[in-house]
Amino acid sequence: MGFDLAFVTKVFAALFAIMNPIANVPVFLSLTEGASAQAQRRVAVLAAIGTATGCLIAVLAGRPILDLFGIDVDHFRLAGGLLVLLIALSMLQGTASHAHAATPHETAEDLDPASVALYPLTVPLLVGPGTIATLIVFAQTARAQGRIAELAAGLGAFLALLTAALLSAPFVGRHLTPNATAITRRLMGMILAAVAMEMMVASLQALFPGLAR
């Protein structure tokens, strides 16, 4: 079985859509407002490490955790698809999903920049419920189809891009217009909605085999 570039692209696109580094650049800047360039870099590195760790935990331990609670992966895929679809719909409407958005006190100006690297920047803004559900489903699919290398490639490529986006946020923020952010959010919402529908259809076909015919 050859290397499936389409699966790599699907993993990368789904993670890009749900974590959306471009749309989160203004969030990163607001959370580190007033901090020195060195402090912003420290926050970016810590957030990148925290996101990578969270993603790896979801990929490696997601299925054992489901088994521990007696949850079938197809039921989880359906629930995850619904959650991802809700996030996608909120992005299409131009608003931030409550599953990934920070509460007002989390974006207050008096926050210590170093304290926001893991919370709320990593959790729940980047590694939120939608991200975790998506990764668990992709990990199960990769194991079933022998696509572990493709999953690692897609995840690794996205994490590299995310790290670069966070480190370059001060520069990008000076050139990113509100219109560009809004357009990107809606485009990623469309991609994410397609991923969510695929997850839901796959779970329904597994739960109700008659639907496949």
Report whether 14 contacts 138 (CB < 8 A).
yes
Confidence at 95, pLDDT banded by 50, 70, 90: low
User: How much is the pTM?
Assistant: 0.78
The whole-number pLDDT of residue 3 equals 94
Residue 98: CA count within 13 A, CB half-sphere: 1
pLDDT in tens, 39-89: 899 999 999 999 999 999 999 999 898 889 998 888 888 888 898 888 888
pLDDT in tens, 15-30: 999 898 987 888 788 7
Element (H, E) at 69: none
Tally Cβ neighbours within 10 Å of residue 8.
Answer: 20
Confidence at 102, pLDDT banded by 50, 70, 90: very low
